[in-house]
Structure 1
């Protein structure tokens, strides 16, 4: 894994242009093209004149139809988008709105519509009675009109697919899986020795601005630490909310005699703070927990009294189960970054397994304490994770196994007394199968046919 390459990709993704850039650029290009093509007016009887066989009246009518249709269709597209945003916010999660704001299909459709509108209006303004027709412009305007219709049909098909909650969860799942692969090294990857100096002897770097930490530029941090021959420990993780004045890093100078941090350093606070990109919302590029947050939001919203959809909640838990299994094969926690000489210059913190388990189970187990199907889904998720932990950690599973046991115990403690005996027995049965998976007894762990689960 090359963390510096990921930093470049993440920074590029976070700097994607806003919604209005593409349509505005398309409109400017359309206006310039209309001005240039307006000068090309071949006489009748020549080859290019056959591009538009009609006269002035039919040309004006066509341009008016294209202009009116473009405005109508653009209004329809924006209305559908607003309804989609409202539905996604109320029914699923307000954190999903970011996905629609950066939707390339929406940007492309609005670009085509605005390009068509500007080109048709400009061409219509150049129509003069008694002069030869700008046949190339007329032909291109008719083609753009058809392209606008095709774009809207494609947009409606796209938005219908995106409105399905299963599609939203799948997109979030894929996005988070990519972030896990890029962010966390494999469990068996070589690990550098990380110095552990006394915090009191380091120089504290404080945040100059507030916001969510979106990106940590490891390349810039390593370069800064190398120039000053320092060791930097970042104190915030992607996704953390930072308030101006809060400590975000500690810097120590390195002792050139033995290569270990030595006390007393001022550091280059501005360079370090500039390497921490903040914003008004979280982004998934380096923030793996943000994907879990969105899936948990969907599950919790599905269990609200106004929606009451346990099946959607169980499906969201299934997506989180796969992500947790992926995390089980990765090394979590602090991420060290070395310079060209192999010296650890920067350590960036990250979340451990307990954090992800609390995030995936915490709210949902409390809101679903009286719904055994969702509690069973959470235990099936822990069973899948337990099997992965046993596979990765061997007999006993170590600290990760203890975290899985803790999460299962919390679920059992949360189950409401109103759950009937038969349903409660199913939940207790799955809890036992979680423990069986931790012990490596996979056939016993998966030999059940209760609810929506795999069976043998």
Structure 2
């Protein structure tokens, strides 16, 4: 049972990564198209098709040539629509990368609505191609798969409606206001979960020189890990673990990755490391810090000489202000307990480093605009009035406001 649970958690974690790929849902729906074709073709061997021809004469096709022509037209039209849709996606992604930030591309690619629609096209084309194989030009009226053709026509009409929605959805999703709102909502949702589940910093692990450090032989962005599996391993082996690399950061091969209060043999270490997922991309749903990076980069890019869009920069700073006020409610330590005992601690990007990175980037590229300079100052003043997890956060903000006043004077 234990092995089954570990395998399930591992599969679930891997699934969360691959479902963000643009080809994931289209592939699933394409397979559904194959299965539908097999099922409908099987039904054609029963009296269903004859019943359709006898009772719904206007919906049945009596000529094999007509049936072939109709299916061919549907396939050709769907292929044209699919090619156009993919072209639109690639064009808009290119524009988003150049005008806003390359970091937002994984979020746009993981939009399930667009994946579903592209899957509908692919599934419909595959279904119609299978039906096409079963039609002969010289076929008699009774041997024409009327039911299969009728379903294919309805599927094609559905795809045409999906195409209209696809154009509408893409035109909305590429607007910078909607992009910022989506990033903000994802990060806010993730932060709220972390704030609600956080433990007091007093429960953090006390690391000393007797702790053992272990390296990792993989590289990539530290995306996620199976918390339940690692806590069980720690409990079973009576050990405590501290992860040295924050989530979302790039891990280099042979980096010091974790520490343990007891020596771990190779077998247990391998078992622990198998519960960590690494990726070449970053997702906000796994790492809220990425939202701060993306919104900051959008603000900076908006103030570049080639774009010069202060309005977008102001909107980005507004979203940053709200997210930072929520981040102030979170501690700087990510603690995980098992039976009220801290067994796992993951290093996180502390508030001081986070605010310094954001304000430094904004000051470098936005201070030449007086309105934005005041906006940045107002952001920090607003944060000083908000509730914070600890008083140290206020000291960090006061230091930043002092530096800003020196530069503005």
Fold-level match, TM-score > 0.5?
yes
Matched, 1:160 2:160: no
For 1:194, the equivalent position in structure 2 comes to 204
For 2:248, what is the secondary structure of its paired residue?
coil
207-216 vs 39-48, which moves further: 39-48
Matched, 1:405 2:398: yes
For 1:444, the equivalent position in structure 2 comes to none
Q: Which of structures 1 and 2 has the larger relative contact order (alpha carbons within 8 angstroms, sep 6+)?
A: 2
Q: What do you get for the CA RMSD once the two structures are aligned?
A: 2.6
Alpha-carbon distance in 2 for matches of 1:216, 1:28:
30
Contiguous gaps of at least 5 residues in structure 1: 1-5, 254-263, 416-423, 425-456
- The alpha-carbon deviation at position 9 of structure 1 amounts to 7.8
For 1:33, the equivalent position in structure 2 comes to 36
Contact in 2 for aligned 1:13/1:285 (Cα 8 Å): no
- Which digits, 9 at most, give the CA deviation of each residue in 1:287-329, with x for residues without a partner? 2210100101100110111000111011001000000111122
Q: Aligned match of 1:103 in 111, 116, 130?
A: 111
- Which digits, 9 at most, give the CA deviation of each residue in 1:52-108, with x for residues without a partner? 256444333321221111011001100100101101110011011102222211211
Cα distance change on mapping 1:21 and 1:212 into 2, 3 Å:
closer
Aligned length: 393
For 1:388, what is the secondary structure of its paired residue?
coil
For 2:260, what is the secondary structure of its paired residue?
strand
- The alpha-carbon deviation at position 159 of structure 1 amounts to 0.2
- The alpha-carbon deviation at position 411 of structure 1 amounts to 2.6
- Which digits, 9 at most, give the CA deviation of each residue in 1:353-387, with x for residues without a partner? 21221232111111122111111111121122111
Cα distance change on mapping 1:110 and 1:44 into 2, 3 Å:
closer
Alpha-carbon distance in 2 for matches of 1:8, 1:411:
48
Alpha-carbon distance in 2 for matches of 1:127, 1:311:
59
Cα distance change on mapping 1:413 and 1:34 into 2, 3 Å:
same
For 2:373, what is the secondary structure of its paired residue?
helix
For residues 120-269 of structure 1, what are the structure 2 equivalents within 5 Å? 120-128=128-136, 129-131=138-140, 132=142, 133-185=144-196, 193-198=203-208, 200-253=209-262, 268-269=268-269
Q: Aligned match of 1:114 in 116, 122, 126?
A: 122
Return the TM-score normalized by structure 1.
0.79
Cα distance change on mapping 1:88 and 1:44 into 2, 3 Å:
closer
Cα distance change on mapping 1:136 and 1:227 into 2, 3 Å:
same
Alpha-carbon distance in 2 for matches of 1:202, 1:265:
11
Contact in 2 for aligned 1:252/1:265 (Cα 8 Å): no
114-123 vs 311-320, which moves further: 114-123
For 2:369, the equivalent position in structure 1 comes to 371
Q: Aligned match of 1:46 in 54, 60, 68?
A: 54
Return the TM-score normalized by structure 2.
0.88
For residues 37-116 of structure 1, what are the structure 2 equivalents within 5 Å? 37-38=40-41, 39-40=44-45, 41-42=49-50, 46-47=54-55, 50-52=58-60, 55-116=63-124
Alpha-carbon distance in 1 for matches of 2:264, 2:156:
65
- Which digits, 9 at most, give the CA deviation of each residue in 1:245-275, with x for residues without a partner? 111111113xxxxxxxxxx666832233223
Alpha-carbon distance in 2 for matches of 1:385, 1:414:
20
For 2:203, what is the secondary structure of its paired residue?
coil
Alpha-carbon distance in 1 for matches of 2:51, 2:14:
54
For 2:306, the equivalent position in structure 1 comes to 306
Contact in 2 for aligned 1:183/1:286 (Cα 8 Å): no
Q: Going by fraction, where is helix more abundant, 1 or 2?
A: 2
Alpha-carbon distance in 1 for matches of 2:37, 2:54:
21
Cα distance change on mapping 1:8 and 1:158 into 2, 3 Å:
same
- The alpha-carbon deviation at position 186 of structure 1 amounts to 7.0
100-109 vs 170-179, which moves further: 100-109
